[in-house]
């Protein structure tokens, strides 16, 4: 088949014989593939230890920002547990009761994880911050809190480095900037780890500034403001992650250039004359379903139609390595005015 364009494989075009790679679709190969579980485990271990230390420091110092950060880390730990559950259940093989597999289940658990971040982290931090502002407290000795924040910063930084290393490898594989990869990837687990660890580092900085402000002014206002800002930060992260998972849970089609490439590939099969309807669905990272109503040539025999279906599936798998299921429905031609576009 002739080339469908040059360069920019991430936009659904390919050179002769080269598969299409697109960050919005994902794949099961390349640098960083299969490393999501390890990334989440590292993040969970770091958050659990940090949560305990922050809680103790918050009680000893009476710092609202430290207690907000403790709630943040508890929420992050619960989030990682839910993400691990999503990774395990999302890879279960298809069976008679679930013929399309369990790929979408990972987005259900990931959506619950974003809810945990929203409620357990964001809402708790906002509540404690507002309480600190309305019932001003005299700051205690912040030394323990500073030490805990320093250790937490190191641990969260190591966790973030693990997540960024995987995300960077995947971004290079798809030949896109890392921010674009994180924005569009269907692997929302690694996206959650990177975003939450980044928010954790910002939250630690805000908590430190709140402690410093209280130490210099002997006022608890700074501590309360820091807690409120941490809450707002976590709510923003939760909303972004929740929106990404909800979109994939509802069902996201292939990008328009890739749908056009799929249509061209089907029409390149000798016995296919027209593609009346084309449905594509990203079921999970590296897992795509393609279904189409196609018009076969009237003179094609049943054997030719069967081999045409096999050829079409082979072409689509070669075009997009993430294709796992292809369903073609022989359909009589329709009037030209009723045929849809790509």
pTM of the complete model: 0.76
Q: What is the pLDDT of residue 312?
A: 94
Tokens representing 260 are 């056009």
Positions in the chain whose pLDDT score sits under 70: 1-18, 28-35, 99, 136-140, 334-342
Q: What is the pLDDT of residues 102-159, one digit of tens each?
A: 777 888 888 888 888 888 788 888 888 888 788 766 666 788 888 888 888 888 888 8
**323-330/287-296 β-pairing:** parallel
Name the average pLDDT for the chain. Answer: 81
Terminal Cα distance for the chain, rounded:
19
**Mind listing the pLDDT tens digit for each residue in 148-192?**
888 888 888 888 888 898 889 888 888 889 999 898 888 888 888
Reduced DSSP (H G I as helix, E B as strand, rest coil) percent helix, strand, coil of the chain, to 5: 65, 10, 25
pLDDT of residue 342: 46
Q: What kind and span of H or E run contains 325?
A: strand 323-330
Alpha carbon of residue 254 to chain centroid: 16
Cα 272 from chain centre: 37
**Total length of the chain:** 342
pLDDT at 59: 79
Name the one residue in this structure whose structure tokens are 């659904």. Answer: 12
Place of tokens 């989440």: 40
């Amino acid at each position: 088949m002739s080339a469908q364009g040059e360069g920019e494989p991430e936009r659904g075009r390919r050179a002769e014989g080269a598969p299409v790679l697109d960050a919005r679709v994902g794949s099961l190969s390349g640098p960083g593939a299969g490393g999501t579980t390890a990334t989440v485990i590292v993040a969970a271990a770091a958050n659990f230890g940090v949560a305990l230390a922050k809680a103790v420091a918050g009680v000893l110092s009476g710092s609202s920002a430290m207690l907000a950060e403790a709630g943040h880390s508890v929420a992050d730990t619960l989030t990682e547990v839910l993400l691990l559950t999503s990774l395990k259940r999302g890879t279960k093989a298809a069976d008679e009761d679930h013929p399309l597999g369990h790929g979408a289940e990972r987005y259900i658990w990931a959506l619950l994880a974003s809810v945990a971040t929203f409620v357990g982290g964001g809402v708790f931090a906002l509540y404690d911050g507002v309480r600190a502002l309305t019932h001003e407290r005299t700051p205690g000795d912040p030394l323990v809190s500073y030490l805990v924040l320093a250790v937490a910063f190191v641990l969260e930084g190591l966790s973030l480095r693990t997540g960024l290393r995987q995300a960077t490898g995947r971004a290079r594989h798809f030949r896109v900037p890392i921010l674009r990869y994180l924005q569009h990837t269907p692997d929302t687990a690694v996206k959650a780890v990177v975003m939450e660890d980044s928010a954790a580092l910002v939250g630690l900085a805000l908590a430190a500034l709140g402690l410093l402000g209280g130490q210099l002014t002997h006022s608890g206002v700074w501590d309360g403001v820091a807690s409120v800002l941490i809450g707002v930060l976590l709510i923003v992260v939760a909303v972004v992650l929740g929106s990404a998972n909800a979109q994939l849970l509802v069902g996201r089609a292939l990008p328009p250039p890739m749908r056009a490439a799929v249509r061209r590939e089907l029409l390149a099969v000798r016995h296919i004359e027209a593609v009346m309807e084309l449905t594509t669905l990203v079921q999970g990272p590296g897992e795509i379903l393609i279904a189409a109503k196609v018009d076969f040539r009237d003179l094609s025999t049943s054997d030719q139609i069967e081999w045409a279906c096999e050829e079409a599936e082979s072409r689509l798998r070669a075009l997009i390595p993430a294709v796992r299921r292809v369903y073609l429905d022989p359909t009589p031609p329709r009037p030209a005015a009723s045929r849809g576009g790509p």
